[in-house]
Amino acid sequence: MEMYGWGRFPGIDTTLIEPVDRPSLATKLRSRDRNTHLIARGAGRSYGDSSLAETTIGTRFLDNFISFDRQAGVLCCDAGLTLEQVLDLTVPAGWLLPVLPGTRFVSVGGAIASDVHGKNHHLDGCFSNFVQSMSLMLASGETVQCSRDNNPELFRATCGGMGLTGIILAATLKLEPVVSAFIEQRTDFAANLDEIFALFEEHQLSKYSVAWLDCLARGAKLGRSVLFTGHNSTRGGLVNWSRRRISAPPRSPGFLVNRVSMGLFNRLYLAAQKSGRRENIQYYRDYFFPLDWIHNWNRLYGGRGFIQYQFVVPDTTARDAIGVALKEISALGKGSFLTVLKKMGAENANFLSFPMAGYTLALDFRIEDSLFPLLDRLDRIVLEAGGRLYLAKDARMSRDLFTRTYPGLADFQQVRREVDPDNLFGSLQSRRLGLSE
């Protein structure tokens, strides 16, 4: 069958295997075809080619809750469960996952394998900070446990390791206590890039923060944006609401996503925010996962798909590098409906985790031939600024850029040689980047 990541670029013809339990997964690994690569796939929400290989191990049937200590807020569950399924259980009981990416439709295994970050990274770090331990099935079919104290190198390689150390079977997660399912949100406007950086610094103690930029603004308006900050509310109670999602049309001509439509959207969006209330209360799903209400919004970019380009640059170079990148993008009139800027906190000890202290910018670009030279120029800006690209979004980074920007690579490879000596696990991405043979 044909399979894609969320950006629908690239695709692969794959054999999908969906084991229903651990013994059948172990049997599959032991009877593997040595000529093809195999990779785990959770909910397929990584944008590029990190979960694409000739053989795909789908984890959606690994979906059991193993234990939930409602006093201590500790959950042990299978890795194929989605964050939505976890939240449906834990939020009404007064426990929130402490790190939430921009969609709830990712699996626990995918959140660990990409070591995802959320709107509170500057204070709370990555998803792995709250993983107490996990069980992993290695290429040999053997199941091992790892944590910061038990097999620590394997733990550091697996968190952020893009599925290349084995199949994450289950994880024990420490949750955060909440008394309400709501977030107190504050909205601030920035006329340009200097203002938005000043606002981020001013609000650096806010629990959550994220800015949406108008990526087509130019000149004195470059970096025009709106900053959303927030903290957990004490009002509203622990309700569990669900609302109908609207659907994107199944086939959408990609040309609808152009300079005019994006410019209009960005202007209307900023105007709507400006005329709204500066402080309000939002249901946590609306606050954390605004795009989840549109089913299959990834189809809006048309048949060739799109690339999400996300990079992080250190504090010292962030203002200049992001300014130069935005100028390049706005001059060509490319760019996205949503351009997201976020302050990040310190990097962690995992070998391939993406974040570093600084700022991260994420943009969606419709695929067209003229896009790739622009992305090459953005790569050079990121490299010169001492930054790196996010593997969970990547579909085209060069091996050279990857090797020069991920200093934990040698340590990662050392672990991989021990746990997967025959190179069973591999994706299109890992081969492109030299992470697997």
Ligand X SMILES: Cc1cc2nc3c(=O)[nH]c(=O)nc-3n(C[C@H](O)[C@H](O)[C@H](O)COP(=O)(O)OP(=O)(O)OC[C@H]3O[C@@H](n4cnc5c(N)ncnc54)[C@H](O)[C@@H]3O)c2cc1C
Least distance between ligand X and beta carbon 28 (Å): 14
- The residue type of 283 is Y
Q: How far apart are the first and last CA of the chain?
A: 24
Q: Closer to ligand X by CB, 217 or 433: give it.
A: 433
Residues that bind ligand X (CB under 6 A): 6, 39-46, 50-51, 59, 79, 101-103, 106-107, 109-111, 113-114, 116-118, 162-163, 167-168, 291, 392, 427
Contacts of 83 by beta carbon, 8 Å cutoff, 6+ apart = 97, 100, 101, 104, 105, 106, 107, 108, 111
- What minimum distance in Å lies between the beta carbon of 427 and ligand X? 6
Q: In terms of C-beta distances under 8 Å and separation of at least 24 residues, what long-range contacts does 397-401 make, across chains too?
A: 397/432, 397/433, 399/432, 399/433, 399/434
Give the tokens for residue 226.
């709106």
Please list, in sequence order, all residues whose beta carbon lies within 8 angstroms of the beta carbon of residue 289, skipping any fewer than 6 positions away: 100, 102, 103, 104
Quote the CA–CA distance of 434 and 437 in Å, as a whole number.
7
Collapsing DSSP to helix, strand or coil, 402 comes out as: helix
Query: Backbone phi, then psi, for 177, in 5-degree steps?
Result: -70, 140
In angstroms, give the least distance from the CB of 238 to ligand X.
Answer: 24
Q: Which is nearer to ligand X, 94 or 269 (CB)?
A: 269
By beta-carbon proximity to ligand X, the closer residue of 211 and 222 is 211
Calpha distance 109→88 (Å, rounded): 17
- Closest distance of CB 381 from ligand X, Å: 21
Angle at the Cα of 327 from the Cα atoms of 322 and 331, rounded to 5 degrees: 150
Element (DSSP H or E) covering residue 433: helix 428-433
Judged by beta carbon, residue 117 or residue 222, the one nearer ligand X is 117
Query: Min. distance of Cβ 167 from ligand X in angstroms?
Result: 5
CB of 44 to ligand X, least distance (A): 5
Closest to ligand X by CB, 21 vs 279, is 21
d(CA 166, CA 144): 10
Query: Quick one: 163 or 223, whose CB is closer to ligand X?
Result: 163
**Shortest Cβ distance from residue 291 to ligand X (Å)?**
5
> To the nearest whole angstrom, how small is the minimum distance from the Cβ of residue 250 to ligand X?
18
Residue type, 225: S
- Between 45 and 396, whose beta carbon lies closer to ligand X? 45
Nearer to ligand X, 167 or 193 (CB): 167
